[in-house]
């Protein structure tokens, strides 16, 4: 499988059975599957969408109360699903071109991508259990 390093955006190839072995980036040495949420920009998002892992993007803004309240849930699920799904946040305030590109009309908006194509979308913040259920259904 090919996966993208969240630190240097290098593409790394590794066997799928080695995901749980503490894989590190061949370029910078950063852990590939630590479960951290990645903050993407217009310059980096397309690279992350090339990952063989499914990608979940949270489009949010710092002034949005529901977005701020949903952030810990998003981070918890990212930790729990490390190595299985890549979790990304896009600040719509700082990245208006991405908001326009993905036709974001309300926030938070969460999108799931598989093989670079959007497979599902969720508008609004939800509790952790329904969010996990939605991810399971989407993937």
| Predicted confidence (pLDDT) per residue in 21-41, tens digit | 888 999 999 998 888 999 999
Q: Which residue is catalytic, options 5, 8, 28, 64?
A: 64
CA pair distance 33, 21, nearest whole angstrom? 10
Q: Predicted confidence band at 131 (pLDDT cuts at 50, 70, 90)?
A: very high
Structure tokens that stand for 53 in this block: 């892992």
pLDDT tens for 78-129 read 999 998 999 999 999 999 999 999 999 999 999 999 999 999 999 999 999 9
Q: Which residue is catalytic, options 5, 8, 28, 67?
A: 67
Q: Is 28 a catalytic residue?
A: no
Q: Is 5 a catalytic residue?
A: no
């Amino acid at each position: 499988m090919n996966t993208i390093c969240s630190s240097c955006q290098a593409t790394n190839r590794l066997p799928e059975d080695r995901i749980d072995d503490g894989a590190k980036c061949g370029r910078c040495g950063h852990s590939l599957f630590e479960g951290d949420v990645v903050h993407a920009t217009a310059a980096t998002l397309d690279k992350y969408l090339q990952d063989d892992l499914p990608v979940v993007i949270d489009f949010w803004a710092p002034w949005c109360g529901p977005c701020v309240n949903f952030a810990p849930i998003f981070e918890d699920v990212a930790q729990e699903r490390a190595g299985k799904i890549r979790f990304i946040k896009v600040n719509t305030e700082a990245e208006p071109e991405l908001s326009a590109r993905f036709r974001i009309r309300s926030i938070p908006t969460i999108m799931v991508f598989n093989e670079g194509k959007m497979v599902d979308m969720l508008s609004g913040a939800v509790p952790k259990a329904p969010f996990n259920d939605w991810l399971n259904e989407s993937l």
